[in-house]
Structure 1
Amino acid sequence: MYTPQVREKMADKPKEKPSLFNFGAFATPNTCEPPAFTLNAKPATVSSFLSDIIPEKKSNALKLPAVRAVQPTFGLPWRNMEWTEEHKKNLMKTVSSYRPSCEMITGAQVLVLGPVGSGKSSFISSVQSVFHGRVVNRAMVGSISTSFTKKLQTFNIQVKKGEDSGLVMCDINGFGDGDITGLTLHDIVSVIKGHIPNGHKFSLEQPVTSETVGYVKTPSLAEKIHCVVFMVDASKIATYPKSLSATFRMLREQISNLGVHQVALLTHIDQICAATAADVSQVYTSSAIRDAMNKAGALLGMSTSYIVPVKNYSSELDLDLKKDILLLSAVDHILQYAELFFQDNKPKKKQMIL
C-alpha cells in the first residue's frame, strides 16, 4: 500500500510512453504516435534486436563491398599474352617487315576515329615511340574538351631513322558530345574513299565537295583508307551519351559498305583498374577491363574479338616493356585487318587468250 504522499507524487509524474523502436524492451506499443526522428536520435536496429534473442553467429546479410584499391581479377587470363623481351622483338620484327600484298601499295593507310579525348593522337605517338626507343609526341596531343586535331594528318610510322614501315596512320578531328563536330559523315566517307588530300582542314561551314582545293576526283587504291580503327575511352564508356552509339553504328554501316574492315582499341585502361595501372600485364586478368570491352562492343555494335586494350604513353618519359608489347600487339591486330582489304581488292589477272 502506498501512503497518500507517495500516491500524490505518482499522480504528478507523467507516464512514459513506450517507443515503437525500443526493440530490447519487448514492450507492446500502445496506440500513441511514435516519437519524431531527430538528427541525434539513434534508434535500435534490427540486428541489435536479433542479437538480444539469438546467439551470435555470422551474418548472411547483404553488405555493400568496400572500395578496393585493386579491381577484382580472374584467376586465369582470358587472353594469352607473352610479356617477355623476346616477344617484343618478334612483334617489332613482324610490324617492321610488313608490306601490303598489293605490289602497287607501299603502305597500309589506317584511319583512326573516335570521340574527343579518346587517345587517337596519343596512340599514334605511342606506336612511334616504341620504334624510336624513347617517348616522342609526333602527333600533337591536346588536353582540352574540343578536338585538338583540326585537319587530316598522315604519319608514316618509321621503324628506323629515315626508314618507313608498311603502316601509315591517319589522324582526324574527334567527335563531339554524341555528334560529329568539325566534320560531317560525308567528310569521313570522302577521306576513306581517298578524295581528301593530306593537310585538309575540316569545317562545318565548308563541307567537302568536288570543288574543294586538292580534291582527288579519281583516287587510286593507294590513296584510299585500308582499315579504320575506332578509339573508345574505357574511363568514359559508362557516361558516353546514347547518341554516340548511333553515331558509331552509322559510321560502321557506311564504312562496311565501302568494304573496309574495322577494329577498335580500348584506351585509358589504367583509369578503371588499379591492378593494371600498377602492372600492365594484369590487363587480361582484369574483370573491370573485360567488362569495359563488352560495353565497348555494345556501343560499337562490334564483337569483342575485334577489340584490344592499349595503354598509351602520356606522362611517362621512359618506355615500358609491357606497354610496348600491348601497343605492338594492337598494331599487329590492325595490320591483319588492313591486309584483308588488299586480299579483297587484288587486281584480277588478265586471262591469256590462246
Structure 2
Amino acid sequence: FGGSLVGHTVCERQTLRNLASVGVPTRPLTNGSTGRCCVGNSTLPSRFSMASGKKGNVDEDLTGIPPLVEDCIAQIRERGLQEDGILRVSGSAAQIKDLQNLYRKGKRQDLSNVYIHTVGGVLKNYFRDMEKPILTFEAYDDFLQTNRIKEESEKVAKVRSLVAALPIENQELLHKIIIFILEVSKFSEENQMPLQNLAMMFGPTFLRKKDQDRAELLKDLNDVIAVTNVMLLHPMFENWPDDQDLHPARTFSNFPEDEERAKKVRKALDDWYGEIWEKELLRMKRLGLVRATSLLPMSEYSKLDGGAKKEGKKG
C-alpha cells in the first residue's frame, strides 16, 4: 500500500489498509484526475467506482459459470422454455461452431437474435466438449457405484456427498445447470422435454470416463442416466438459493450475528458503494480479516443503530 492517507477519517484509513492487505489495489485518496471517485465528502477506492455510468464493472471471473453458459441459459429462459424440442432440435451447425469459437476467444456475444435452437446447441456442446467433465474423471467410478446401493435414501446421501466433494467451481456450474434443467422440465407439456429426456441428454456429458470409447459409453449409459436422475430428483445443494450462483463457501459472512443489524449493515454498504461491493470482496476470496462494518466510512457507520458502538468480535 502506498500513498498518503492524510485528510481521511481513522475508519477510512483503516478501511484502505484492510483492503490493501488482501490485495485490493488502492492509491492516495485525492480529488481530480487520480483515478478516484468522489462521493459526498468522502472518496472510494477506484475498484468500487462507477465506470461508464454502470454499477458493478467487475471482472467476470467470480464463479465457475462461463459467460457462454450464462448467456445461453438467459436466452432460453427468455424465449425458449416453451419451444417444442428445446435442447433436442438441432440448430445451425455452422453458427454453433462460430459462436463457440468467439466465446473461446473471450468475445461475448449478443444472442438475442440467434435462432433459439442454435442457442440450445451451443449450450449442449459446451458440456459435451468440456476437456474435463463437470463431475470429473476421478469421481466417475464412485458415482457409478452409487447405483449398487439399494436403499434410496442412502444412495441419495452418497451422491450428495460426492457432489459436495467436487471443486467449488464445478459445484457452481452443476448447481446452475441443474436449476435450469428443472426449469425446462416444468414446461414439458409445451416443449416435449420431460426430465427423463433431459437426463438422457445431459447425463453422458456430466459423467464420462477418460478416453472412453463408444462400447464403454453404451455399457455404462444406464448407470450414468440413473445417477443424473438422482441429482435432478433430489436436492443436491443445501442452504444454496436457486438464484445464487456463488457457492455458499464464497459468501462474505463477516457480519453482525444479529440478523436485523446485519441487514442494516448490508443496506448501508449497498447505499454507499452501489451493487458491486460484495462481488469485489468475493473476488478477493473473502475478506476474512475485515469486519463488514469496517468497510463503511465513519459518517455512514455512525448512522447504524447504536451509533459508533463497538461490535467487537461479533461485528
TM-score (structure 1 length as normaliser): 0.22
Would you tell me which structure has more strand in proportion to its own residues?
Answer: 1
Would you tell me which structure has more helix in proportion to its own residues?
Answer: 2
